[in-house]
Structure 1
């Protein structure tokens, strides 16, 4: 549907997981909400694949989690390795939650599930609508955008949520800074079919002098589909089977893994940044527009979805007549969470990419000894699952 109304209570820019989750919460509360997205369609690649326990909890309130469980694969274990040696084994099974595990599911599936739920709630996503500018005053925000033919249009809203990613035009128009930096390494991401020695109920974080590599199972009719994420000095533009096979052989030489097919691959650089503020008047930020960080731990999409639920509920209350000042609680509660996730994933990334042998030996000894302590393992599982964000 691409008919855009002239006015709306809330306009959400960006129809990714965070934007659609906010839309569901608002639409369920009876708020007139419209989502604008510049893309012709939602994600058709797997990208973010981990859904953690806390996210499963908040999406359960929206009746989304049962479908995620139906289409995903339950993975309750996390293993950290150097070569063939397991340095640490962390289980989510003892966590105090209805969902003591992670669910692995491609982002294209997650977005399709959220879109169906959004449409059930009565909201719409307007595609081919690229926001070009925002102008706010005391009574609302004028959203300028171009349609599929490049024609200029505008939409008047009481509130705007920027969920339009790392290069957010909403954040830029609101004049909100995005403080942080970029990692020197680039990342290779590949979904493959391969023979792999590890069980499909665990995610493996592989440490090596060449860099960090994550191996994670993905749901499939055939039990040999995996996600590979690896740091490299400079990723090639195209990652063919030979390149990814060589990467796996170098990072896990004893695995005797054989890649049968590259389903999809990409390269990217990773930033660690947090918006200086989450609100500027009637404009608010969520998801990657508010924070980006290393994929270590798979917490990016999860943190964004949790942002959206908190923001959606607060904004729905304001639309229903609550004082606008309660929106300040959003930044007070969610920005510290983002700062904590950025700090945690930064430590993990830097620790995992140590290259000097003495530093690696010390790292391995510390990890191995500390994670023998049950309290340490439980704390790590609790942090990865984001249950501390309740």
Structure 2
């Protein structure tokens, strides 16, 4: 149990951030019997869909938390990913032959994933202190002194043997630890919209459409409360956008870039956003007694739905080495974790950057070469299977 002495709260691990990565880590640490305090600067979960796909490897590692049955019942299984230019299929990637019991990508919006993780964390007796912001970090002889503050309760000091930053791209933990976050911003602006619409393509498919004006991705989302199956995620590049797009703007993108004659008709806009992307990686994921997981350690394009999946795998592979370090003082497994996850992050950033640059090729020659290359890849089943395995992250141990 955590203890209080001289107004300092003591714990084994302080987890900063309570998105899916932070909650997965907290749950895993509790299963290891590790005392843990978790803080998050938001008063409640963000309650937006954001990351919407859970890949096969992530489902495999989540089995240890007992959350997979609920995720499967809440999600939608997608077996096909097709790259198209209007009505022409350039490349088909199928997931039905994946070397896993989960032969699909599970579409499950992030807010639903977070609700499921939170229910299990509540059942395990785990608490999240909200809203509480990390103010300072200072290494001590046997851990880290962290000052955290709340608008209602003022500030307090937490003495943790280890601090794990699961607090996103703008990580306060990473900044206070002095860890560089190296990379670049993309020039393109992206818009995202969750809609209800009529759509001519089967709901077992995620579709990526190329056009001279940019790309658009259309992915089915699971239904809630027994409503008809007409909920979709749309992501597209645009010349510029300062505001969240409305129905007219999103409909125009579908009409221009989607299938000819039947691009789909939007009936309701559920949520939308405009955003810029970046690709960056932390110089290291471990410095002293500070560790980084998820977007705090690596930021990249959403191409292939790799971000949240990589972060959850960061967290769940950390729990056992961190417990060993706490109990035995043996850091070898923790050092191996840091080296491995940093290498995985570099690989993911390289892959998603390549996918994004190929998908956003601007010149007519570049687009023509891209489409020809994808058409050639589509002729080799073994290549398609390898791509599917990498997207599902099944090549990662």
The TM-score with structure 1 as length reference comes to: 0.97
Distance 1:148 1:27 in 2: 28
Match of 1:64 in 2: 67
Find 1:279's aligned residue among 276, 286, 306.
Answer: 286
Match of 1:195 in 2: 198
Q: Is residue 2:300 matched to residue 1:293?
A: yes
Match of 2:316 in 1: 309
Q: Contact between 1:239 and 1:265, CA under 8 Å: does it hold in 2?
A: yes
**Per-residue deviation at 1:137?**
2.0
Q: Is residue 2:119 matched to residue 1:116?
A: yes
Of stretches 4-13 and 221-230 in structure 1, the one that deviates more from structure 2 is: 4-13
Q: Contact between 1:210 and 1:353, CA under 8 Å: does it hold in 2?
A: no
Q: Secondary structure at the match of 2:233?
A: strand
Distance 1:118 1:314 in 2: 21
The TM-score with structure 2 as length reference comes to: 0.95
Structure 2 unaligned spans of 5+:
none
Q: Is residue 2:38 matched to residue 1:35?
A: yes
Match of 1:132 in 2: 135
> What number of residue pairs does the alignment pair up?
388
Q: Contact between 2:137 and 2:147, CA under 8 Å: does it hold in 1?
A: yes
Q: Secondary structure at the match of 1:389?
A: coil
Match of 2:47 in 1: 44
**Per-residue deviation at 1:43?**
2.8
**CA RMSD, 1 decimal:** 1.4
**Per-residue deviation at 1:204?**
0.7
Find 1:88's aligned residue among 53, 69, 91.
Answer: 91
Q: Is residue 2:372 matched to residue 1:372?
A: no
**Per-residue deviation at 1:248?**
1.3
Match of 1:326 in 2: 333
Match of 2:171 in 1: 168
Distance 1:362 1:185 in 2: 20
Distance 1:135 1:85 in 2: 58
Q: Is residue 2:27 matched to residue 1:24?
A: yes
Match of 1:353 in 2: 360
**Per-residue deviation at 1:322?**
4.6
Match of 1:74 in 2: 77
Find 1:224's aligned residue among 219, 230, 233.
Answer: 230
Distance 1:294 1:208 in 2: 19
**Per-residue deviation at 1:231?**
1.4
